[in-house]
Structure 1
């Protein structure tokens, strides 16, 4: 809906699911982003990224039958990865405004009531701050503060990802105008935001934490090692290639990530939380 158009904007929620997700958390994610919302979406688009265990398949079938919000199923025969799964799901969304949801996170009830008016006022992408949560979602582990305002978002984007992917609502037409999701190992979202910013899109964050981001056992351990650093190098090369960062910022970013990927896990956790502005509760 363009600014000034009468009536509320209808929107889709896009949620990919794959074999490692659990039925309980998928249901929690689905319900929190639909029936528990003060402003409900018009549909939930669930992308099953390849075969899943029988209990998870049964849960997906139950959600399609029982949720009062329409569920659109996109069942992919094989696991194609997040980038391709999101692209397939976007093609099935009926609405231009799309909210991302991860299958093990929690959307807080005010999420879309806060974000949709910002989109309706003209924004192309709107993210938010997030809480890190564990098994008990009522006891946040840390707060990830999102940069707010275009100048801060731009400045942060030259050092790290300025938006938290599980928190965003975006206009599909703006995303498609810069080429949509492109495969960049472990960085498809950061690369998308950088291209949108480079193209002059209206990219925003709200300061309020609107999502509970699930931090699982071993999450920070998996962020280390040579494969992760190689992915960093590929993304930084792309950012430099479009002129989003210069040589000096590229060198600083690579040096920071080289240290981060190869330190002990506990130090990596502290460093990552500091980098993304997370404060322990």
Structure 2
């Protein structure tokens, strides 16, 4: 039986209106199976151009749009938690304001959720300026056992591609304020709670990789977030001591190597499941 679902799309002052319009149109207007509502979380004040874009999208949308305007920028995790609370439906699909959906995305993913899954992701294609030109690809593990095993070392889901059941997300405490790692932390909590998980290898989202993408994956801020996440995983029993030690050395080291090395390592180890 088909279930209604919400599309959750956060927006902040740094987003570009043209990218947002393309993301919205691809995930709503162009979908073979459209969401039953869109919840846009405006994470703090935005400029006049972005406001005008939001107003136009709301006015022209073929499905109902609910705008949740936060008074200040609270960050991705808390913004998504607020958006989840505002969604009318238990099934919620994620979308970012600068990516592009393939038209079959929800027609592929929703039947898997309706068959019993709590969390479903997919592969994605990376692009730079032109969404039609592929510059990389991330293919996640698809078997639930492989997903669980992969999660002890790397994020097994591409966050912008997921569809999830809000009831379980709420039960484990939502995204929270784990900046830079909030999605990976949430998946770990859901797996420990017995979530039924799946991934579709087919790339259903085109993910925008802007300038400096690999630089942003390194540095002391990312290292601190990484170490904090690994400590949290060990404390909650998600990883063993040997896994913790491996992750601190390998994943922590990844944050400190030169950008060129990080780019190669990401392609070989993180982006594509082998």
TM-score by length of 1: 0.95
Query: Equivalent residue for 1:37?
Result: 31
Structure 1 residues not aligned, in runs of 5+? 1-5
1:82: Cα distance to partner? Answer: 0.6
Q: Of the candidates 256, 264, 276, which is equivalent to residue 270 of structure 2?
A: 276
1:19: Cα distance to partner? Answer: 0.7
Query: Equivalent residue for 1:244?
Result: 238
1:65: Cα distance to partner? Answer: 0.6
1:143 aligned counterpart, secondary structure? strand
Residues 196-238 of structure 1 deviation map (CA, whole Å, 9 limit, x = unaligned): 1111110111111100111000111111111110100110011
Query: Equivalent residue for 2:166?
Result: 172
Mapping of residues 1-281 of structure 1, within 5 Å = 6=1, 8-278=2-272
1:91: Cα distance to partner? Answer: 1.0
Contact 1:142 1:278 in 2 (8 A): no
1:98: Cα distance to partner? Answer: 0.2
Aligned-partner Cα distance in 2 for 1:175–1:109: 26
Contact 2:92 2:164 in 1 (8 A): yes
Aligned-partner Cα distance in 1 for 2:191–2:171: 12
1:99: Cα distance to partner? Answer: 0.1
Contact 2:117 2:196 in 1 (8 A): yes
Aligned-partner Cα distance in 1 for 2:103–2:92: 17
Aligned-partner Cα distance in 2 for 1:277–1:187: 16
Structure 2 residues not aligned, in runs of 5+? none
1:37: Cα distance to partner? Answer: 0.4
Contact 1:41 1:69 in 2 (8 A): yes
TM-score by length of 2: 0.97
Aligned-partner Cα distance in 1 for 2:4–2:47: 33
Give the 4+ runs in structure 1 shifted more than 3 A.
none
Residues 70-119 of structure 1 deviation map (CA, whole Å, 9 limit, x = unaligned): 11100111101111110111111101000000000111101000000000
Tell me how large the CA RMSD over aligned residues is. 1.1
Contact 1:146 1:163 in 2 (8 A): yes
1:220 aligned counterpart, secondary structure? helix
Aligned-partner Cα distance in 2 for 1:189–1:96: 18
Contact 2:76 2:179 in 1 (8 A): no
